[in-house]
A and B are shown apart, each in its own frame.
Chain A
Amino acid sequence: MNHFKRSLGIGLWFMFLTLPLVVVRVNTLSQEVEWRWANMLWVGLAAFAIAWAWRYSIDRRAARQAQGGSQTRPLSARRSWAQRLSDDPILSRRLLMVAALAALAFPWLVSTGQNFYHVNIMVSALIFVVLGLGLNITVGLAGLLDLGYIAFFAVGAYTYALLSKNFDLGFWTCLPLGGIMGMFFGLVLGFPILRLRGDYLAIVTLGFGSITKIVLENSDVLFGGAAGIAGIPRPDLFGLVLDGREKSLYSYYIVLALVALTVFVTNRLKNSRIGWAWMALREDEIACVAMGVDMARTKLSAYALGAFWAGLVGVIFAAHNNFINPDSFTFMDSAMILAMVVLGGMGSILGVIIAALALKLLPEYLRAFAEYRMLVFGAVMVLMMIFRPQGLISGLRRKYEYDVSKGSDDVGK
């Protein structure tokens, strides 16, 4: 009953709040004020229903948690689907195969004739998948907040644009160079901020991102200023002449290969001495150093590797778009990539991929509701933070193969 009263109150409150928006309208043609009272009723009903569902789901969640808490052994806690997947290598390998086949077949399924709109959207989404995976190393694994990550992306993009314009270097030469430049700037940023943590780190990286954009905008001679650089060559394929659709397909496969490479490398690193050190650094810096982990080297490698992927994919971005200007590298983009990592679950590769695809594809396909896009986006964020603050996939327990019989010679107590 208490719920009913509260939800009723919320309904009334929303009716009052939205009164000037949905009820009153000035009809400019007939010069009179319209009062659309019916709208008010709908708002009230909707707010009431949502509030009711809200309280109900929160109650259920609390009940479930209480139930979970009463279990004596934490080991027997209910396993999430992601945990089950990671515990079952055969199943996960099969699913990976299916996903790979689907990704390979995707452009042929959605593009017909000269209609390759969906392919292009997918290319930009996959570019952000790589960015998300790159930032996942810095933020998700090593726990170093970076609010200026897009700057490394810009470094890669401008590396290719400038090298191809001024020195006529090809895409494939510039691809590794872009990555190396990104890495270099990662180190340049990393050195002065080794000692910073938390808020201070956030501010410095934010500043770095902004400085990069301002430098690009104001340096007309070198970087083309706010107008950017146009006429960047597309990736070349043994000198073949490609039409528009084929170019998009080619970009798609390049970026898909890069996604695969990123996943492969990140996964290997995550399950290695390096990755364990990153995670320990994220969990507790002092303990990590006291256990003999070199903080400077570990932090710098996390920055450099994170920035490497951004630089690499920046080259692809520049090549795919033919044109770059500083507006592609705003703080909003940094925040978006960070959101992908947080929503996906810090450190989770699969989670970040899902979150990146969702965050880039949903707005594209929600163009019909263009005006409400940011509203929906914000609402999703708030809901995520309430119901899954730890991200889509998190808290996976990794098990390590170990032959117990080998160690039986010195049995402890």
Chain B
Amino acid sequence: MSANKGAKLLEVRGLTMDFGGLRAADDVSFELFEGEIVALIGPNGAGKTTVFNCITGIYTPTSGDVIMHPPGLAPRRINGIKANSITRLGMARTFQNIRLFPAMTVLENVMIGRHCRTSTNILDAILRTPRARRETRETIAESHRLLRKVGLADLANEFSANLSYGAQRRLEIARALATAPFVLLLDEPAAGMNPQETQELDELIVRIGAEEKVAILLIEHDMKLVMNISDRIVVMEYGKEIAQGTPREIKENPRVIEAYLGEEAHA
């Protein structure tokens, strides 16, 4: 569980995000390395999701740098780049409040993830050229593979709106994986899951991290899950990053205990 397993993939330096007078993220810095699972934790409203949105291009940070280091390519500063370009570069995410495409089937949801890795244009689609057919075939095969991976293959033709909550969360993960990322961001993947489902999710996250060769950054409130699977943990409070370290270090950090339990814990 050494912190620096491999090459650096994602670097966040002095990230600050203001909403009017409110500073939602204040000088946040951390890094993500190959093969790692890093958790971003903190009380509600600490600015974790804001950091996620800044990294994935949904917001443009007020200041600071977000730098991606695609394997084998030159590093790239991605502040202010459109979200779809960032996904194309190799960073995918899931959402805290599930954002699936409800009127599309489970398989189709995953197929959308392949959009940025395929290139069928309008003319190809109308003429159904060999390239379009091949890409469609590959898209379907790859989507099926990912559905099997998250255990949803049996429900491939069901509308995503009809899935159970836990299954919808897993579908979001499959959809994000379909974009062939090297960094995967999971925003509260265990929210609303029962202990049994959380346990399964725990295994799933570790498994996809290893099998799909993605580094994972996740926001999570379920401490058991976080302590189990994270290599490192970044703690935020009121927009500021207050601690970083291995699960063991974080557990014993007085600043973190204070943030979670309040002042009285000191007394």
Listed residue (A291, A293, A305, A402) with the most chain B CB atoms within 10 angstroms of its CB? A291
Q: Does B229 contact A (CB under 8 A)?
A: no
Contact for A280 among B101, B107, B125, B145, CB less than 8 A: B101
B139 with A280: CB separation less than 8 A: no
Contact for A412 among B102, B124, B150, CB less than 8 A: B150
A410 with B148: CB separation less than 8 A: yes
Contact for B99 among A284, A399, A401, CB less than 8 A: A284
A151 to B120, CA, bound (A): 30
Q: Does B1 contact A (CB under 8 A)?
A: no
A268-B125, A301-B122, A407-B144 are contacts. A292–B113 as well, Cβ < 8 Å? yes
Chain B: interface secondary structure? Answer: helix
A399 to B82, CA, bound (A): 32
Q: Does B153 contact A (CB under 8 A)?
A: yes
Residue numbers in B under 8 Å from A404 (CB-CB): 144
B148 with A407: CB separation less than 8 A: yes
Contact for B87 among A284, A292, A399, CB less than 8 A: A292
Q: Does A400 contact B (CB under 8 A)?
A: yes
Looking across the interface, which residue of chain B has its beta carbon closest to that of A406?
A: B141
B99 with A273: CB separation less than 8 A: no
A395 to B158, CA, bound (A): 11
A291-B112, A407-B141 are contacts. A273–B118 as well, Cβ < 8 Å? yes
A398 with B150: CB separation less than 8 A: no
Contact for B101 among A284, A305, A410, CB less than 8 A: A284
Contact for A407 among B125, B136, B145, B158, CB less than 8 A: B145
Q: Does A33 contact B (CB under 8 A)?
A: no
Chain A: interface secondary structure? Answer: helix
Total count of chain A residues near the partner, CB < 8 A:
42
Interface string of A243-257 (1 = CB under 8 A from B): 000000000000000
A283 with B104: CB separation less than 8 A: yes
A277 with B120: CB separation less than 8 A: no
- Report the minimal beta-carbon distance from A110 to chain B, rounded to whole angstroms: 33
Q: Does B250 contact A (CB under 8 A)?
A: no
- Report the minimal beta-carbon distance from B173 to chain A, rounded to whole angstroms: 12
- A interface, CB within 8 angstroms of B: 74-75, 265, 268-269, 272-277, 279-280, 282-284, 286-295, 301, 305, 395, 397-402, 404, 406-407, 410-413
7 new A-B contacts at CB < 8 Å, known A272-B136, A273-B135: A273-B125, A273-B132, A274-B121, A274-B122, A282-B103, A288-B101, A397-B105
